[in-house]
Every structure is written in C-alpha cells, then in structure tokens.
C-alpha cells in the first residue's frame, strides 16, 4: 500500500506500530471517535499490511499510513512535529528474535524509541506520549515461591495469589528484549521527570483479540487458536503449567485512551496492565478450553523452557484500574470465544494458510 502521508490530517494522533495488533485496534477506536490518525509502521509484521488496508478502508478520511522504519530519525522528527499525541507500539516484539539478533532488537527498541522520545522533547510543547512496555521488565520472577498444581503454577504468597504482581516489584531485565523494552520504559519515565514530558508507560501482560496474528514467538493466545482451528499441533515450551493473565484488546485500548486523557495527572507513572487474577490462565487450561469450544482434541508437543520464561506472571493492575477509571476486564472465556469467532469469520478456510500467504507478500 502506498503511503498517502499526513496531508489532510492536521495534527494527527501518531500511532507507531499502528498497523500491528494493538496499534490497529487503538487506531480504529480513535478514528471512530473522529480523530485523524497517522499509522507509522514499517509493515514488517505479517498481517500488518492487512490491518493497514482494513483501517484505510473503514476510515479513508481519517487514517493515513506512513510506511517507514522507526530508526529513520528524519521521518520520525517530521511526524512528531505534526502530532497531537504519540502512542508508541512499534517494536521488535519477540524474546526469541532478540536472542537471535540482539543488535537489531537494540536498534529498534532502544535507539528507535529514544529517537522518537527525543523528537517529542524537542517539540518544547506538552506532547502526550504513551509507551507500550512489558511485564518482562520484572524478569523471570524466579524468587516467587510457587506450588505446582494439576494444571498450573500458583504462588504460595496469599497476597500475590489474590492480587498479582504490582509496580512495586523491582525491575530485573532478562533477555535482550527485556533489556531493550526496559531501557525504553525507563527513558520514557525519565523524560517525564527530567523534562516534564507528559509521558506514561503501560507494562502489559498478554493482550489478545481480533487483528492479532500470533506466532510461536509472540501472541500465543491467537497462535494457539490459529493452530487449533487448522488442526495443527501446538508446541508448548515448558510444561504448560505456566500462568499468564490475559486481557482483551478492547480493554487495553480503553486503558491507553484513559492514560492519554488523564496524562497531566498520571505523567511519569508506569502501570501494569493485564487481565489480573480473575483472568489468569495456564497454557494447559487455555488448550482445554479451546478443545471444548472446537469439540475435538488439540494435539500438543512439549519442548524445553525458553530463556527468561516466567512460570507465573499475573498483573496487579489495581493502580491502572483506580487511576485510569477502568471497568472490569472482559472475562477471558468470553474474550477467547470472541477471538475464535473473529478468526473463523476473517479466515473461513484456514487462518494459518492466510498468515503464510501474508508473510510471503
Ligand atoms: N501483544 C502483547 O501481548 C504485548 C505484551 C507486552 C508488550 N507489548 C508491546 O506492545 C507493542 C505492540 O505489540 P503488538 O502485539 O501489537 O505487536 P505487533 O507486532 O502486532 O505490532 C508491532 C508493529 O510494529 C511494526 N514495526 C516493527 N518494527 C518496526 C520498525 N522498526 N519500524 C516501524 N514499525 C515497526 C510492525 O510492522 C507491527 O505492525 C510492542 O511494543 C510490544 O513490545 C505487546
């Protein structure tokens, strides 16, 4: 798709990575609310081109696309100079890829992110800046004592079991991806502190929902569904008892918008964002649920744990809920059922073959 640039979109909201999974959902909501949105995306992720096309078709007047790499500082400065707000999602998103090519991971996530942030600072105006960080900034959490139950790990500590992991948890970057996202996270917070940039950070757990083209490397909820719908085996790294709190993408979008609307009050803050203990699910539990929905067994294969894998991570998102006035998240069973329906509608024959086709484009 050719980039129409930012002509006609006076002071757009800039969404880097706006053709990706979360970015495209946010862009759609912003456009529905009447905003002009500039997607700044290299379209390197399989499925991004499709998301960009979908957005442009739905909102031809309000969405523009600049196909560009976040490392292109000249382009970054140009879009930031026009922006009314910046949501920064563009990233090298996979731990696995960061281990294969830490240099590129660093260049995209740290240098690219820093260039964007610095461009925002140089505006010398209160430009809202919201950054998509990750729970990986807390490391593998191996010091949290766990009990092994039939299908999941659970913390021994009653408070963590009831509430999850809060922002009080010390930072402990593991893997190049954890380091690069963590470094960007810290720069954003410091730019709020040192330069009074109205900036905030969302440390997300696992987000899932429509427009997610999950792969083995990132986006496991959609990845499991795509494989299961296609009748393919799912590879589980570890024993499948690892637990994550999953959050439906609409709820994540609500949080980003609330952070923007309340940025003067919440600037300089980092919030954990996830489904919380009520939406904590182990890989085994999710697979059992998928089997129930599809009415047939799903083949699974087991491989060794991957570096930095957390046995248990559940967000304590109470600070975000309270400060940003968030509603109760969608219950995970309902959200996963919605995602199954979306995948079936969007890819009636085979979601995975469509994904392969896009990857080859
Ligand atoms: N999805 C999750 O559960 C989750 C959890 C924690 C953090 N995050 C963070 O949220 C952000 C969005 O995640 P997502 O799941 O939507 O990922 P995604 O891969 O769907 O979206 C990222 C987008 O960035 C684009 N991109 C990648 N490298 C780029 C570059 N060098 N220049 C310009 N664009 C580039 C891709 O084409 C893609 O459209 C990422 O920063 C990720 O680290 C996501």
- Per-residue confidence at 5, pLDDT binned at 50, 70, 90? very low
Question: Which residue's alpha carbon is nearest to atom 18 within ligand 1?
Answer: 20
Sheet (strand 270-273) strand order: 63-67, 37-41, 13-16, 85-88, 129-134, 199-204, 270-273
- CA-based angle 25:27:31, to the nearest 5? 120
Least confident interval from 1-5, 59-63, 248-252, 297-301? 1-5
What does pTM read for this prediction?
0.95
pLDDT band at residue 308, thresholds of 50, 70 and 90? Answer: confident
Q: Nearest C-alpha to atom 21 of ligand 1 is from which residue?
A: 20
Dist CA 127 CA 11 (whole Å): 11
6 touches 106 (CB < 8 A): no
Q: Give the pLDDT confidence of 9-43 residue by residue, as tens digits.
A: 579 999 999 999 999 999 999 999 999 999 999 99
Kindly calculate the radius of gyration of the chain based on its CA atoms and give it in whole angstroms.
19
For 313, the token pair is: 């991570």
Confidence class for position 88, pLDDT limits 50, 70, 90:
very high
Within 13 Å, how many C-alpha atoms sit on residue 35's CB side?
20
Classify 154 as helix, strand or coil: strand
Q: How many CB atoms lie within 10 A of CB 296?
A: 10
- The pLDDT mean for the chain works out to 94
Beta partners for residue 244, in sequence order: 281, 313
Residue 146 pLDDT exceeds 60: yes
Atom of ligand 1 nearest to the CA of 48: 39
Q: DSSP label at 135?
A: G
Per-residue DSSP letters for 188-246?
HHHHHHHH---EEEEEE-EEE-TT----SSS-HHHHHHHHHHHT--EEEES-S--EEEE
Q: What is the mean pLDDT of residues 287-295?
A: 97
Among all residues, which ones are annotated catalytic? 177
Atom of ligand 1 nearest to the CA of 206: 3
Rounded to the nearest angstrom, the distance between the alpha carbon of 194 and the centre of ligand 1 is: 27
Q: Which of the listed residues 89, 96, 114, 203 should we mutate to test ligand 1's pocket, taking the one with most ligand atoms within 8 A of CB? A: 89
Residue 199 tokens read as 């900036």
Nearest to 203 by CA among 274, 265, 275: 274
Ligand 1 pocket, residues with Cβ under 6 angstroms: 17, 19-23, 41-45, 48, 69-71, 89-93, 108, 112, 132, 134, 181, 204, 206-207, 219
């Amino acid at each position: 798709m050719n980039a129409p640039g930012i002509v006609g979109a006076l002071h757009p909201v800039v969404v880097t990575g706006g053709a990706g999974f979360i970015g495209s959902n946010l862009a759609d909501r912003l456009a529905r609310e009447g905003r002009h949105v500039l997607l700044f995306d290299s379209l390197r992720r399989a499925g991004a081109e499709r998301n960009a096309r979908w957005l442009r078709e739905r909102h031809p007047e309000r969405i523009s696309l600049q196909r560009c790499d976040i490392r292109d500082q000249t382009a970054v400065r140009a879009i930031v100079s026009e922006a009314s707000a910046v949501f920064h999602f563009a990233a090298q998103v996979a731990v696995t890829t960061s281990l294969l090519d830490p240099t590129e991971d660093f260049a995209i996530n740290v240098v690219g992110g820093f260039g964007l942030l610095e461009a925002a600072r140089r505006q010398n105006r209160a430009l809202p800046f919201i950054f998509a960080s990750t729970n990986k900034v807390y490391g593998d959490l191996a010091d949290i004592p766990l009990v092994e139950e039939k299908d999941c790990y659970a913390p021994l500590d009653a408070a963590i079991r009831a509430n999850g992991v809060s922002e009080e948890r010390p930072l402990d970057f593991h893997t190049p991806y954890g380091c690069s996202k963590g470094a960007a996270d810290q720069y954003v917070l410091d730019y709020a502190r040192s330069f009074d940039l109205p900036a905030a950070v969302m440390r997300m757990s696992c987000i899932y929902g429509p427009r997610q083209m999950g792969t083995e490397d990132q986006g496991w909820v959609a990845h499991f569904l795509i494989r299961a719908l296609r009748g393919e085996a799912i590879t589980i790294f570890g024993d499948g008892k690892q637990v994550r709190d999953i959050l439906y993408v609409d709820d994540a979008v609500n949080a980003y918008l609330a952070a923007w609307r309340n940025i003067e009050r919440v600037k300089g803050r980092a919030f954990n964002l996830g489904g919380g203990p009520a939406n904590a699910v182990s890989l085994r539990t999710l697979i059992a649920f998928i089997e129930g929905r599809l009415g047939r067994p799903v083949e699974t294969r087991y491989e060794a744990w991957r570096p930095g894998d957390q046995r248990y991570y559940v967000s304590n998102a109470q600070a975000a809920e309270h400060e940003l006035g968030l509603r109760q998240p969608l219950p995970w069973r309902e959200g996963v059922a919605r995602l199954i329906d979306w995948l079936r509608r969007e890819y009636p024959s085979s979601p995975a073959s469509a994904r392969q086709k896009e990857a080859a484009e």
